[in-house]
Structure 1
Amino acid sequence: MTERLRWGILATGGIAHAFTNDLQLNGFTVQAVGSRSQEAADAFAAEFGIPNAHGSYEALVADPEVDVIYVSTPHPMHAAGATLALEAGKHVLVEKAFTVNVAEARALAELAAAKGLLVLEAMWSRYLPHMARIREIIAAGTLGELRSLVADHTQLLSDDPAHRINALELGGGALLDLGIYPISFAWDLFGAPRTIQATATFKPTGADAGVAAVFGYDGGRMAVTFSASDTQGPNSAVVLGTEARIEIDHIWYTPTTFRVIAADGTQLEEYRSEVKGRGMHFQAEAVERLVAAGTLTGDLLPIDETVAIMGSLDEIRRQIGLVYPGE
C-alpha cells in the first residue's frame, strides 16, 4: 500500500469541505489547513479534527508536517496559491478549472517541473470508477467507431451579483466552474479538438450565464457541451458509437449509473457506482500513487493536457468575448 502523504488544505470554502470530508472518510491524513484568517482556519480545523491550523497561506505551505497542498481558492487565486506551495517544496493538487488562462497554467507546469514536484488538476470526475469502466468499454471496441459525446452541466445557482458565480473578479461564470467538466470529458475521449465553435449568454455582471461549445475532430467526430449557471438541466451524458452507445445518468460527473445499449436497442451492460462519500478521494489516491512512484505528471490527466485544455477555454472565451479583470 502507498504510504500516506500528509495533506494541507489551502482555503476553507465549500469545495474544501467536500474534499476534506472525502479524504477523512477514506483514510487519508489531513494534517493542516490554512486560511487568510486564523479564525476561519481554527473553525475548519475544529470541524474536521485537523491538528494544524494556520492563519495565512504562507504559514500553511511552510508547515514541515505537510507534504502536499490542495488549492481550493476561487479561480483567479489558484496560480498564486499553487506557486506558493511549489516554491515551498510541496506537491500540489489545484482545483479545476486549473487557472484562469493558459499562460498561468503553463507557468505552474514549468515551475513544478523545475522544482521536481507534482502539480495536478483536481478534475476529480476523471478518476471515478464509472469513468474508468467507460474507458475500458470504449477501448474494448464495444461501441464500434466512437463518433460523438453530448453532455451538459447545468445548475440553477444564485443570481446575487455579489455571489462568486456571478463575479467576474472571482472568475465567476458557467465556463470555468461548470463547463470544465464536459470539456475535460471531451478531451478524455477524443483528445485535442481540431475546431472549436462557441456561443454564450451573459449575466448583467458580465459573467457568462450559459456557454455552448462544439468541438470538431478528425474523421467527423464531435463533442457537444452546454453549461449554464441559470438553468437546472438533466446533467446527463451520451457517448455514441457506430455499434452502441453509453447513456450516463444524472449526475454524470459524480458516482452514478450508466447503460451500454446496442444499436438494435439491446442493453449490453448496466453499471452502478458504489463509492464511499462523493468520490473526490480518487484523485488524492492518484496523487499519492504518482508521488510514491516518483512521477511528476499525471497519467489519467497529464499536466500538459491540463495546460492544453486551458488553451481550449481561452479560445472559447475569445469567441464569446469573455475577459477577466487584470487580463
Structure 2
Amino acid sequence: MQPRLRWGIVATGNIAGVFARELALLPDHEVVAVGSRNLDRAKAFAQEWDIRRAYGSYTEVAEDPEVDVVYVATPHSDHLGTARHALESGKAVLCEKALTVNAAEARQLVDLARKHGRFLMEAMWMRCNPLHLRLRELLDAGTLGEPRSVHATLGFLADYDPDDRLFAPHLAGGSLLDVGIYPVSLAHHLLGAPDTVRATGTLAPTGVDASAGLLLGYAGGAVATLTGSLAGPLPNTAYVSGTEGWVEIPADFQAADRLVVHHPDKEPEEVTVDLLGVGYTYEAEEVARCLRAGLLESPLVPWADSIAVMEVLDAARAQVGVRYPNDAPGDGDSG
C-alpha cells in the first residue's frame, strides 16, 4: 500500500467540507491540518472532520512540515496569494476553480510552480470524472463523427447578499467564475480553444455578472453555446453533437454518472459509471497519481487548459462589463 497522502485544507467554507468528506472515502489520503483566518472556525472544522491540527492562518498550513499537498478553498481573490505561499513553502497545490481571478494571474501561478518545481493543479474535478473521460474517448473514437457543437448550462438562484463571495467584486464574485467555468471548461475539453468569444449577460447590483451567455466560434465551423447563472435555475445539462450523432449528459452534467449516445435510426445507447462519492475523490486520486509519478502538472487538467479557460472568461467578463480590483488595464480586452 502506498504511503498516505497528507493534505492541508485552507479555508473552511462549504466546498472545503465537501472535499474533506470525499477524502475520508480514500484510505490512502488523510487531512492532517486545516487553516482559517478565524481560529475558532478552524477548530470547529477540525473537530467535525477529525483533523489533528487547526491553525488561525493560511500560512501556517503551508508551513506545516507534515503537509504534502495544500488544498486552496478560499474565495477566488485569495487563490494567487495563498497558492503562491504554498508553492514557495515547498508544497504541492490543488487550487479550487477558477484557478485565479484572471489569465494573467494564472500565468503567474504556473510560472511559480515551474520555478519551484512543485505540482500545481486546478481543482476542475469534472475533468477527472470517469464519465467525462469516457466522453472524451467516444469523441476520439469517432463515435459522433466530427464534433460540431457543445451546448451546456449551469445555474441556480442564489440568495443575494452584496457581501457574499458570489456577489462581492473584491472577492471576484459572479456567475462566470463560479458556475460558468464548468460549461467553458467542458467546451475546451471537447473542442479546444475558440477563435472567437461573444458574450452578453446581466449584472447584479454590486456590478458582478448575475448571468452570462457565451457563443464560442471555432475556425473549423464548430460552435459552443454556454450559459451560467446565479439569477435562476437552469437545466444544468449538456449536449455534444457531431456529424453522425449526439450525446446527452443529464443534470448535473459536471457530476453526472451517465450519458446517452444518440444516432439517427438507432436506439439510444446509455453509458454509465459508478462514482465514488460525488466526484471530488477522482481529482484527489489524480493528484496522488501525479505526485507518485513525479509530475508537476496533470495531463487531465494541464496548465495550458486552465490558462486558456481563464482567457475565455476574461474576454466574456470584459464584454459583459465586469472588472475586478485584481484586473490590470487591458485584461480580457481581446476575443
- Helix, strand or coil: the match of 2:45? helix
**Matched letter for residue 101 of structure 1:** N
Q: Distance in 1 between matches of 2:163 and 2:301?
A: 33
Deviations along 1:149-173, one digit per CA (max 9) or x if unpaired, are: 0000111111222222111111111
Matched, 1:92 2:93: yes
**Match of residue 52 from structure 1:** 53
**Match of residue 39 from structure 1:** 40
Unaligned runs of 5+ in 2: 328-335
**Match of residue 123 from structure 1:** 124
Q: Distance in 2 between matches of 1:145 and 1:103?
A: 33
Give the direction of change, closer, same or farther, for the CA distance of 1:221–1:326 in structure 2 (3 Å limit). closer
**Match of residue 193 from structure 1:** 194
- Helix, strand or coil: the match of 1:109? helix
- Helix, strand or coil: the match of 2:199? strand
Q: Distance in 2 between matches of 1:3 and 1:293?
A: 14
Shift of 1:2: 4.8
Alignment of 1:3-18 (within 5 A): 3-18=3-18
Shift of 1:300: 1.1
**Matched letter for residue 84 of structure 1:** H
**Match of residue 21 from structure 1:** 21
Moved more, 18-27 or 92-101: 18-27
Structure 1 contact 151–182 (Cα < 8 Å) conserved: yes
Alignment of 1:1-327 (within 5 A): 2-27=2-27, 28-267=29-268, 269-327=269-327
Give the direction of change, closer, same or farther, for the CA distance of 1:2–1:222 in structure 2 (3 Å limit). farther
Give the direction of change, closer, same or farther, for the CA distance of 1:306–1:69 in structure 2 (3 Å limit). same
Shift of 1:7: 0.5
- Helix, strand or coil: the match of 1:253? helix
Structure 2 contact 257–275 (Cα < 8 Å) conserved: no
Deviations along 1:112-141, one digit per CA (max 9) or x if unpaired, are: 101000110000011111111111111111
TM-score normalised by L of structure 2: 0.95
Q: Distance in 2 between matches of 1:169 and 1:2?
A: 42
Moved more, 82-91 or 133-142: 133-142
TM-score normalised by L of structure 1: 0.97
Shift of 1:326: 4.2
Structure 1 contact 249–258 (Cα < 8 Å) conserved: yes
Deviations along 1:36-78, one digit per CA (max 9) or x if unpaired, are: 1221111111000011211111111110000100000000000
Q: Distance in 2 between matches of 1:73 and 1:135?
A: 30
Q: Distance in 2 between matches of 1:308 and 1:251?
A: 24
Give the direction of change, closer, same or farther, for the CA distance of 1:265–1:202 in structure 2 (3 Å limit). farther
Deviations along 1:3-46, one digit per CA (max 9) or x if unpaired, are: 43210001100000001100112222111111112211111110
Shift of 1:325: 2.3
Structure 1 contact 242–263 (Cα < 8 Å) conserved: no
Q: Distance in 2 between matches of 1:265 and 1:161?
A: 51
Unaligned runs of 5+ in 1: none
Structure 2 contact 9–33 (Cα < 8 Å) conserved: yes
Superposed structure 1 runs of 4+ greater than 6 Å apart: none
Shift of 1:265: 4.9
Deviations along 1:227-281, one digit per CA (max 9) or x if unpaired, are: 01011011000000111110000100013321001023521x2123322221101
- Helix, strand or coil: the match of 1:143? coil
**Matched letter for residue 302 of structure 2:** P
Deviations along 1:198-219, one digit per CA (max 9) or x if unpaired, are: 1111111111011011111121
- Helix, strand or coil: the match of 1:166? coil
Report the number of matched residues. Answer: 326
Deviations along 1:74-129, one digit per CA (max 9) or x if unpaired, are: 00000011011001000000000110011111111001101000110000011111
Shift of 1:319: 1.5
Structure 1 contact 61–90 (Cα < 8 Å) conserved: yes
Give the direction of change, closer, same or farther, for the CA distance of 1:226–1:110 in structure 2 (3 Å limit). same
Structure 2 contact 77–326 (Cα < 8 Å) conserved: no
Q: Distance in 2 between matches of 1:317 and 1:257?
A: 32
